A and B are shown apart, each in its own frame.
Chain A
Amino acid sequence: MIDAAPLADAGARRRRRRRPPTALLKHGALLLFLSLMVYPLVWMVVSAFKPAHLILTDPGLIPAEVTFENFQEGWYALNRPFSLFFVNSLVVTVGSILGNLFSCSLAAYALARLEFRTRRLFFAITLVSVMLPMHVLIIPQYIFFSQLGWVDTYLPLLIPKLLATDAFFVFLMVQFIRGIPRDLDRAAAIDGAGPFRIFWYVVFPLMRPALVTTTIFTFIWTWNDFFTPLIYLTSTDMYTVPVALSSMVSAESQQGIGMLFAMSLLSLLPVILFFVFAQRYLIRGMVTSGLK
């Protein structure tokens, strides 16, 4: 294509090379790479539509037989419609997002912008709390929540989010806030704005990419979280999607693969849709947020 371009007009050629071919090349490379990356997922999608006993024995991409029985079986596998677990997951996820956005942004603003004596200590504590493996924390935490009588409710999953215990996001937001020029705060301060107004009118709107990122990650991580809901939610009616999914493959026999794939696929759909929707807000970010 490039070679076929007329040599006569160098300017025109440069223009042409600039626009479509580089874009085409880019698309080609990205598509190739993408297909490599998502191949395993495509395999999973195809497998979900295969009869369960053929998934492992006939692993090709073109199914010899297409069936919806994995979905039908999986949907009622736990004696109740799978939609119940979707609703449960949604409650936990939305609650966690709100909690994280609220609590982490407040804490991050204080740690990134305000001057107070214990700031560095607090910042260090934030970091340290993500360094300890959760497995040694889960039992003391469970004992605490169990004494409050919160077992088999969603409170142990939600209250910690409302209290900024997800240090990852506090740190993430601190880093973003520190990327925002201080001149803006100073200008607002000179106009007489206090820390609250600066936070609410200046910093918070500029944190949008970080807030969107937090939303995306909280959604995905909470939606996929397995261990915490497993420990705290004991009745099947309270299960979130991953706990319900885990019941489908048992360690003793691998019978549920078909169902597992089918239901995993369904459980991925909301996350994918949410991601595609939310990442649009990443695109805008700074450009529309008023900073010129």
Chain B
Amino acid sequence: MRDFDRRAFLALAGMSALGASALLSGCGGGSGSGIALRYAWWGNTVRQQNYERALQQFQEANPGITVDPEFAEYTAFQERMTTQMAARNVADIFWIASPQVMTYQAAGLYRPLSDIPTLDLSDYSEADIAAFSLNGELLTMPHGVFVPVVRYNETFLEEDGAELPGEDWNWDQLSEFLIDYAANAPEGRTGASYTPDQDMAFEAWLRQRGQDLWTAEGTVGFDAEALGDWFEWWRVLLDRGAVLSLGEQEGMQPDFADIGERVLVNFGSSNHIIDEAAMFPDWRYRLRSVPVAPDAADGHRFTYYPRLAVYQGIDDEKLEAAGRLIDYNVNNADFLRTVGLTMGAPPNPRLLQEAYDFASEDETEMLAVVEADRAEEQRPRYEAPPGTGTWREALSRASETIALGDSSVSAVAESLIAEIQAGIDQAA
């Protein structure tokens, strides 16, 4: 290695330096004076545009603070975030993908929020704050609220002369209705898509039985019987042709754009109506709470919060600015107006009321369902523990196995629970 030719080496170094300076000059990191915050979020191009505009508004309202937006599509966002976490080079404020909420918590990546003076929490009740907290500490701030819903195409319902069971429906009634609807529906239409892996609907099913997805201790909160019954509920629909087959819907998690004209109802999260109803502007979509089992456990209703957080390693002098930005994000009506309601109803009760003023028909539908569910008493809900990053994929795979009909429902349920538990043990 002593034989490096000096000239060649110098030439190379020179070239590199030249290239480096040319490239670096192109991109200054933030502003010269004042405070620069990095804000990372995910979504599609519409959301990208809306949030960039909202962040611009924030900068205009807060001279001295600049925001460097870091945007990516959901999967890409997680890949980039994971890498940044490993290198401890993370955006100051970031959205948290739901499977990672507790994983980040366990790794101590959140800066607690309760002592940031610029974040105003006065709009929230104590119960709200408790529900937002993880292990009793306010580490993240929800910037949306989802509840599980059944969405149905009212236009289809009218066209086909069918009538949903009453508002106090249960799972059996829905099942019978779907089978009946599919049998009489016009060619090319059926009851629903095959989505036993819709996690919010599944969680509702569990909580009505007094079980949970996850326990406070970070273990699996449901048993093979509850899971097996869930699969069985879907298998009956599949056998009776009341839902699309795996082939017809091209796999699990079908695109609504693709199946929207073939199904009457859809399980999902309350916020999906905003993007998905827009795909078929000619039809009217309505929301309903999911069916409730006749002997449902108390407090089974629940709300899911998409969350954002401040990175633990943030510079102290940036903290106040970060608080200001989060405050603007979750408490400001102008911000909400700009970004719209794609992340669900606002968690801030005051904003929820204000949102009705500018909400579209679909959005109003969503706000009403969320408001109704939030008014009910809810027993606590726990986030997914570390090691469960792929539990939804595993649930999808199990659902595929059920649809293929090669294995018994109970065997699939048991092996799925074992797989999820193994992941948790591995991470512990």
Contact = CB atoms under 8 A, between A and B. Distances in A.
Interface of A: 53, 56-57, 77-79, 95, 138-139, 142-143, 146-147, 151-155, 158-159, 162, 227, 230-231, 234-238, 243, 246-257, 259
Contacts of A255: 44, 46, 257, 275, 278-279
B52 interface: yes
Interface string B53-84: 10000000000000011111111100110111
B375 interface: no
Given A146-B89, A158-B23, A250-B74, 6 more contacts: A53-B257, A155-B20, A162-B15, A247-B48, A249-B73, A252-B44
A65 to B, nearest CB: 16
18 contacts: A139-B83, A142-B83, A142-B87, A143-B87, A147-B87, A152-B27, A153-B23, A162-B19, A234-B38, A235-B69, A238-B27, A246-B73, A246-B76, A250-B74, A252-B44, A253-B44, A254-B256, A255-B275
Interface in B12-29: 12, 15-16, 19-20, 23-24, 26-27, 29
Interface in B150-164: none
A249 B23 contact: no
Given A155-B23, A255-B275, A139 B86 contact: yes
B326 to A, nearest CB: 20
A275 B41 CA distance: 37
A230 B80 contact: yes
A151 B89 CA distance: 9
B258 interface: yes
Given A139-B83, A255-B275, A247 B73 contact: yes
| B contact patch SS | helix
B48 A78 contact: yes
B83 A251 contact: no
Interface pairs A-B: 5 shortest CB-CB: A250-B44, A254-B255, A77-B45, A146-B87, A253-B275
A143 B27 CA distance: 20
B83 A256 contact: no
B261 interface: yes
Contacts of A53: 257, 279
A256 B48 CA distance: 13
B19 A259 contact: no
A79 B49 contact: yes
B276 interface: yes
B35 to A, nearest CB: 17
Contacts of B12: 162
